[in-house]
Amino acid sequence: MRYLELAEVYEKLERTSKRLGKTKILSEFLKKISEKEIDHLLLLIQGRVFPAWDQRELGIAHKLIIKTLRLVTGKTEKQIYDVLKKTGDLGETTEQLVGKKTQVTLFSRKLTTQQVFDTLQKIASLEGTGTVEKKMQFISELLTSADQKEAKYIIRTIISDLRIGLGEGTFRDAIVWCFFGDELEIKYDEKENKVNFSENNREKYDEYNDKVQRAIDLTNDFVEVVNAARKGVKSLDNLSLKIGNPIKVMLYQKVKNIEDGFETVGKPCAIEQKYDGFRVELHKKGEEIKIFTRRLEDVSNQFPDVVKAVEENVKKDCVLDAEVLGFDKKTKKYLPFQSISQRIKRKYDIKEIIEKFPVEVNVFDVIYFENKSLLNQPFKERRAILEKNIKQVPLKFKLADQLITDNSQKAQEFYDKALKAGNEGIMMKNLEGIYKPGSRVGYGVKVKPTMETLEVVIVGAEWGSGKRGKWLSSFTIACIDENEEFVEIGKVGTGFKEKEGEEGVTFEQMTKLLKPLIIEESQNEVKVKPKIVIEVNFEEIQKSPTYASGYALRFPRLVKLREDRRAEDCARIDEIDNFYNQQRGRGK
């Protein structure tokens, strides 16, 4: 496909803010994709060069793009920054500048999507001396062959900020519209922004939607899902989980207390400690063992100690759901997630860091065992399989502590014990519940003694003043609206620590995390790529015209950095609506 054609699709998607409109555009695009081109096109349309679980990155800083733009357009740095100030977007800046370039002729060749994709992948594989120059050279080559519109989206892809607002929900709907649209007689009325289909088909539409969603949750691979949908519903149903490919984990609802927990999951239920570590999915297929985070990134190389623990303590092929927990070497007490989070990203000196930050694996579920998916097996049977097949070694590899009870007092004692041991709270699980990947269905709930918290993504910040002058110190936070856009919901500047060494997240640490993500800078404010997710608590949610979400958090305060969350996982506007309405229900 010509890259220009793709750029036009991006443009259309960017221009419509309506989710249904986007669904229509995407479904038409899907129709056009051949099986030969699907692999790279489905990544590019998501603004990706690698699938979610691949840890490779392009590693191109904002500054390098500016330098490349100087080279390609012959403009001075000041001229480039002047445009950037006006547009607030490197993509648009590039679009304007290449249009006016003085050095190189435009349209020296016609770019294809495959060429752009291959070049971007090549950039990620560069290593050693001269890497920066080579990266610049590759980007320059792309830009000199690109027309204005193409250049805009190439740059946006490079900085992973495509700004076309495509979420997974839109993808799912678009797959249904594209491959089952005729059968369901789906008609999109653009003027009214409504989907029309005969009442007879509504149930079927929901059914197909569920089938596509199931396929996405199981495979996490749009290519597989689209290829199956192309062949028909049966092929979709036949998709199953594959050992070695990450599958979405099941999520848990939050309840206020033990009584509400019993109400949701039934009596008796399984009660487990809620360990404050990070979630991993462990895949064992013969000798091969892989570890994925809940963001589905492959972190096997970072955790050879966990790989070894699986090797030694599990003999059969399986997929396990577990929490990895750090503990203090001397006292053997569990440590909060923050203290071991650095292990997730660590690429070097792994041996040393294993020594310094040892971990214990607490297995709490099994999704696949000996060539058989256990997704539809009741939890109590899955747990029995774990008990029978896992060798437990304290401080290395064990099953989550569990109590089965229908007694509130016993549950309360277990809860108190969990908190005393430094855990976050408890999980209460329905003994008959199946495993539903990617969903918060209520087969399990969490109980923890905190104020309401929300996970939000940082989209901007302000440089501090006085002793905080070197640091970003007030952070603009956002949630996701119904069009899959990040919309602001407040600013948070409390809960951070001043000095390195104090327990918690420091301003310096935040500054280090956010600096490479800066996409726009003016006076003392910056805008950043929405990447860093934090959990905040707050006193109240108010309606507010100040922020694009229409709401403002009152007195938000940092609880913790959520490095285990992707920006797409942060709070959605309907969650905020709910919170707001619940407050009103309580008389606020």
Residues acting as catalytic residues: 274
Closer to ligand AMP by Cβ: residue 205 or 303: 303
* 228 and 215 Cβ atoms separated by less than 8 Å: yes
Q: Which position among 95, 173, 221, 272 is part of the footprint of ligand AMP (CB under 6 A)?
A: 272
Member of 149, 274, 398, 560 binding ligand AMP (CB under 6 A): 274
- Interaction between residue 397 and ligand AMP (CB under 6 A): no
Place of tokens 């948070």: 492
Q: Measured from the CB atom, is 279 or 557 closer to ligand AMP?
A: 279
- Answer for the pair 258, 428: CB distance below 8 angstroms, yes or no: yes
Stretch that binds ligand AMP, among 138-146, 270-278, 295-303, 378-386 (CB under 6 A): 270-278
Q: What is the 3-state secondary structure (H, E, C) of 309-349?
A: HHHHHECCCEEEEEEEEEECCCCCCECCHHHHCHHHHCCCC
Task: Report CA torsion sign: 428, 434, 440, 443.
Answer: negative
Judged by CB under 6 A, the stretch of 124-132, 145-153, 269-277, 469-477 that binds ligand AMP is 269-277
Q: How far apart are CA 318 and CA 373, in angstroms?
A: 9
b/e 256-265 (16+ beta carbons within 10 angstroms → b): eebeebbebb
Cβ burial, residue 251 (10 Å; 0-12/13-18/19+): middle
Instruction: Quote the least distance from Cβ 484 to ligand AMP, whole Å.
Output: 21
Binding of residue 171 to ligand AMP (CB under 6 A): no
Burial classification of residue 450, based on how many CB atoms lie within 10 Å of its CB (0-12 exposed, 13-18 middle, 19 or more buried) = exposed
Beta carbon nearer to ligand AMP, 239 or 366: 366
Show the tokens assigned to 498: 């001043």
Do 560 and 536 form a contact (C-beta atoms < 8 A)? no
Question: Does the footprint of ligand AMP cover residue 427 (CB under 6 A)?
Answer: yes
- The stretch among 59-67, 202-210, 231-239, 272-280 that binds ligand AMP (CB under 6 A) is 272-280
Contact status: 446 vs ligand AMP (CB under 6 A): yes
DSSP strand pairing (551-554 vs 540-543): antiparallel
Enumerate residues 224-253 that contact ligand AMP by CB under 6 A: 252
User: Which residue lies nearer to ligand AMP by CB, 101 or 274?
Assistant: 274
Part in contact with ligand AMP (CB under 6 A); list of ranges 187-195, 268-276, 480-488, 566-574: 268-276
* Three-state secondary-structure class, residue 386: helix
Toward ligand AMP, which CB reaches closer, 323 or 484? 323
Question: SS3 string of 143-212?
Answer: HHHCCHHHHHHHHHHHCCCCCCCCCHHHHHHHHHHHHHHHHHCCEEECCCCEEECCHHHHHHHHHHHHHH
Closest CB 299 distance from ligand AMP, rounded Å = 14
Give the residue from 190, 277, 197, 182 showing the smallest Cα distance to 232.
182
Q: Give the CB-nearest residue to ligand AMP.
A: 279
Would you tell me how many other CB atoms lie within 10 Å of the CB of residue 447?
23
| Nearest-approach distance from CB 379 to ligand AMP, in angstroms | 11
CA–CA gap between residue 123 and residue 136 (Å, rounded): 9
Q: Please give the size of the binding site for ligand AMP, defined by CB under 6 A.
A: 12
Instruction: Tell me the closest approach of the beta carbon of residue 273 to ligand AMP, in angstroms.
Output: 6
Q: Binders of ligand AMP among 292-311, rule CB under 6 A?
A: 294
Would you give the DSSP letter of residue 250? P
Choose among 229, 205, 186, 183: nearest CA to 42. 229
Smallest distance, ligand AMP to C-beta of residue 427, A: 4
Q: Please, what is the minimum distance in Å from the beta carbon of residue 576 to ligand AMP?
A: 17
Of 269, 274, 270, nearest to 362 by C-alpha is: 274
**Between residues 117 and 275, which has the closer beta carbon with respect to ligand AMP?**
275
Quick one: 204 or 279, whose CB is closer to ligand AMP? 279
Q: Which CB sits closer to ligand AMP, 275 or 538?
A: 275
Task: Tell the smallest beta-carbon distance from residue 294 to ligand AMP (Å).
Answer: 6
Complex with ligand AMP: residue 30 or 428, whichever CB lies closer:
428
Q: Is 400 in the site for ligand AMP (CB under 6 A)?
A: yes
In this structure, are residues 76 and 49 in contact, taking their beta carbons and an 8 Å threshold?
no
Report how far residue 272's alpha carbon sits from residue 275's, in angstroms, rounded to the nearest whole number: 9
Selected range binding ligand AMP among 93-101, 121-129, 266-274, 281-289, rule: CB under 6 A: 266-274
Instruction: Please state, in angstroms and rounded to a whole number, the distance separating the CA atoms of residues 119 and 108.
Output: 17
Q: Of the ranges 29-37, 138-146, 267-275, 331-339, which one interacts with ligand AMP (CB under 6 A)? A: 267-275
By C-beta, is 336 or 493 nearer to ligand AMP?
336
Three-class HEC string of 23-46: HHHHHHHHHHCCCCCHHHHHHHHC
Residues 332 to 391 in contact with ligand AMP, rule: CB under 6 A: 364
- Residue in 275, 337, 414, 547 binding ligand AMP, rule: CB under 6 A: 275
Give the nearest distance from C-beta 68 to ligand AMP in angstroms.
40
Closest approach of ligand AMP to the CB of residue 258, in Å: 15
Min. distance of Cβ 30 from ligand AMP in angstroms? 32
The residues that touch ligand AMP, with contacts defined as CB under 6 A, are 252, 272-275, 279, 294, 323, 364, 400, 427, 446
